């Protein structure tokens, strides 16, 4: 690799090597949104639990169709039904229990009410408009596999089983440290040479979207001894320690030296743009080892680094397949570019029309220009030492949380 830069693949392998899923914990279902199942869940009920009507209408035996049938009972949703008297039909409503003996439902728009009953058309097949017991879920089958992120439909399925609590992975605990004497917090007055900390809220939000918990944030001054003590403190409480800034080559970049003193630096400097000085390592903490990711200070480098490295790391800790890899999409490039030694992860807006996906790049791809991330919903991956022309196909990583 040119200039001793490491590949993104090697960095991912190093980062994920030896990472095991966090333990499970039991939480109430109404607080489980976004959490990841730590064990698969077997269905304990058939859903629906009984044969029921898909329509408002009349339940009957299909063989009785094509004549006038007296109405022998009325079944609203939520009521128990009696066996259907022979040669009769039952008034029934959507969700009502099909009476035993009946095998089909005719919708009310198709019948005629007569003095002596209801005229039913002759072409009603057996099974019509009946939602069979267990059609959605069979008791004993796997309802949700381990590693499922509990989003809307999965939460609905759990409730459909009458389940009130689930075992989910503990959320990864993240410490987020911002280095740099020039970086101050919103609310403080901005002196000459200072900038506001945009990385912190940006990364906090991304980490939360990936399913982690940011348990500690701190600002680290450009001083070696303080960097060491603050990293040590973070490693005591976090599974993953993330820093921003201070990983390049300047005299004020203390993070790598502190990491070497407190743990180990596994890998540094990647053949990617943005994010070249990214550093990976480990720190020893109270509960064993904390993983360390040193993101470069430039906001776009942090943003891209979070999608490429923090998301899969959190995916491993949560053992959630959907988080481990970003979906890949081939798109028509609406731009032209050329790369040198570093693979370029360009911020693009993916749009979809009849011709297929198109990738439009933000004009300024500098790693300090966070505006490029606002409208970007994907990263176009332009290989090192390559030329991309408008109209070429480019591989894009879709920026979805899971």
Ligand X SMILES: Nc1nc2c(c(=O)[nH]1)N[C@H]1C(S)=C(S)[C@@H](COP(=O)(O)OP(=O)(O)OC[C@H]3O[C@@H](n4cnc5c(N)ncnc54)[C@H](O)[C@@H]3O)O[C@H]1N2
- Which residues contact ligand X (rule: CB under 6 A)? 178-180, 182-183, 195, 197-200, 244-249, 253, 274, 276-277, 296-299, 301, 367
* Of residues 209, 207, 211, 231, the one with CA closest to residue 291: 231
Among 61, 149, 200, 276, binds ligand MOO (CB under 6 A): 276
Closest distance to ligand X from the beta carbon of 389 (Å):
26
Q: How many angstroms separate the CA atoms of 76 and 91, rounded?
A: 8
Shortest distance (Å) from residue 250 CB to ligand X: 6
Query: Which one, 131 or 276, has the nearer CB to ligand MOO?
Result: 276
Residue closest to 91 by CA, chosen among 103, 72, 74? 74
Which residue from 99, 246, 274, 281 is in contact with ligand MOO, where contact means CB under 6 A?
Answer: 274
Residue placing its CB nearer to ligand MOO in the complex, 273 or 343? 273
Nearer CB in complex with ligand MOO: 254/276: 276
> Would you say 75 or 308 has its CB closer to ligand MOO?
308
Q: Which residues contact residue 323 at a Cβ distance below 8 angstroms, ignoring those fewer than 6 apart?
A: 36, 149, 210, 211, 311, 312, 314, 315, 401, 402
Q: Show Cβ contacts of residue 188 under 8 Å, excluding neighbours closer than 6 positions.
A: none
Residue 298 is a binding residue for ligand MOO (CB under 6 A):
yes
**From start to end of 288-355, where are the E strands?**
288-295, 328-333, 337-338, 343-353
Nearer to ligand X by Cβ, of 134 and 299: the residue is 299
The string of DSSP codes covering 193-246 is T-EE--HHHHHHHHHHHTT-EEEEEEEE-S-HHHHHHHHHHHHHH-SEEEEES-
DSSP-based three-state secondary structure for 263: strand
Q: How many residues bind ligand MOO (CB under 6 A)?
A: 8
Work out how close the CB of 325 gets to ligand X at its nearest, in angstroms, rounded to a whole number.
Answer: 24
Closest approach of Cβ 302 to ligand MOO, in Å? Answer: 9
**Residue labelled with tokens 């072409």:** 123
Q: Site for ligand MOO (CB under 6 A): which residue of 275, 281, 285, 315?
A: 275
HSE, CB side, 13 Å, CA atoms: give it for residue 102.
Answer: 35
CB of residue 29 vs ligand MOO: minimum separation in angstroms?
A: 42
String marking each residue 354-373 x if it binds ligand MOO according to CB under 6 A? -------------x------
Q: Is 294 in the site for ligand MOO (CB under 6 A)?
A: no
- Nearest CB to ligand MOO, comparing residues 274 and 312: 274
- How big is the chain by its Cα radius of gyration, in Å? 30
Q: Which is nearer to ligand MOO, 226 or 248 (CB)?
A: 248
Nearest-CB residue for ligand X:
297
| Footprint (CB under 6 A) of ligand MOO, residues 211-250 | none
- For residues 128 and 106, is the Cβ–Cβ distance under 8 A? yes
- Shorter beta-carbon distance to ligand MOO: residue 341 or 375: 341
C-beta of 248 vs 261, nearer to ligand MOO:
248
- What's the token pair of residue 15? 């980062």
Minimum distance from residue 46 beta carbon to ligand X (Å): 54
CB of 250 to ligand MOO, least distance (A): 13
Burial class (CB in 10 A: 0-12, 13-18, 19+), 258: buried
- Mark the segment that binds ligand MOO (CB under 6 A) among 141-149, 267-275, 281-289, 343-351: 267-275
The least CB distance from residue 206 to ligand X, in Å, is 14
What is the DSSP secondary structure assignment for residue 46, as one 8-state letter?
-
Residues 6+ apart with CB under 8 A from 274: 296, 298, 300, 301, 304, 345, 367
> Could you tell me the smallest distance in angstroms from the CB atom of residue 217 to ligand X?
11
Q: Which residues are at the interface with ligand MOO (CB under 6 A)?
A: 273-276, 296, 298, 301, 367
């Amino acid at each position: 690799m040119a200039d001793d830069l490491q590949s993104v693949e090697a960095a991912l392998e190093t980062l994920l090597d030896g990472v095991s899923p966090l333990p499970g914990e039991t939480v109430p279902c109404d607080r489980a949104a976004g959490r990841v199942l730590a064990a698969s869940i077997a269905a304990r009920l058939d859903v629906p639990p009984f044969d029921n009507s898909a329509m408002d209408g009349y339940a009957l035996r299909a063989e009785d169709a094509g004549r006038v049938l007296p109405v022998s009972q009325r079944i609203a949703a939520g009521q128990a039904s009696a066996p259907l008297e022979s040669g009769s039909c039952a008034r029934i409503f959507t969700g009502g229990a099909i009476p035993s003996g009946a095998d089909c439902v005719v919708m009310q728009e198709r019948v005629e009410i007569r003095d002596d009953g209801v005229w039913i058309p002759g072409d009603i097949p057996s099974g019509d408009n009946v939602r069979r017991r267990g059609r959605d879920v069979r008791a004993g089958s796997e309802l949700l596999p381990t590693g499922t992120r509990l989003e809307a439909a999965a939460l609905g399925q759990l409730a459909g089983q009458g389940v009130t609590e689930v075992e989910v992975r503990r959320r990864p605990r993240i410490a987020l440290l911002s280095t740099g004497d020039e970086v101050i917090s919103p609310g403080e007055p901005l002196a000459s040479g200072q900038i506001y900390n945009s990385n912190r809220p940006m990364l906090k939000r991304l980490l939360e979207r990936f399913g982690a918990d940011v348990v500690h944030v701190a600002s680290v001054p450009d001083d070696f001894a303080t960097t060491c003590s603050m990293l040590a403190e973070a490693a005591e409480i976090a599974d993953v320690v993330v820093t921003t800034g201070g990983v390049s080559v300047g005299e004020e970049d203390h993070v790598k030296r502190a990491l070497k003193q407190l743990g180990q630096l596994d890998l540094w400097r990647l053949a990617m743009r943005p994010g070249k000085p990214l550093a990976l390592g480990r720190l020893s903490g109270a509960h064993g080892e904390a993983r360390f990711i040193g993101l470069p200070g430039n906001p776009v480098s942090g943003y891209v680094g979070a999608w490429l490295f923090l998301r899969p790391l959190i995916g491993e800790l949560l053992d959630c397949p959907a988080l481990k890899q970003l979906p890949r999409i081939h798109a028509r490039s609406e731009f032209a570019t050329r790369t040198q030694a570093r693979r370029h992860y360009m911020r693009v807006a993916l749009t979809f029309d009849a011709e297929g996906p198109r990738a439009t790049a933000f004009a300024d791809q500098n790693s300090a220009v966070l505006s490029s991330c606002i409208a970007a919903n994907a990263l176009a991956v332009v290989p090192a030492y390559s030329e991309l022309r408008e109209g070429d196909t480019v591989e894009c990583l879709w920026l979805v949380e899971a």
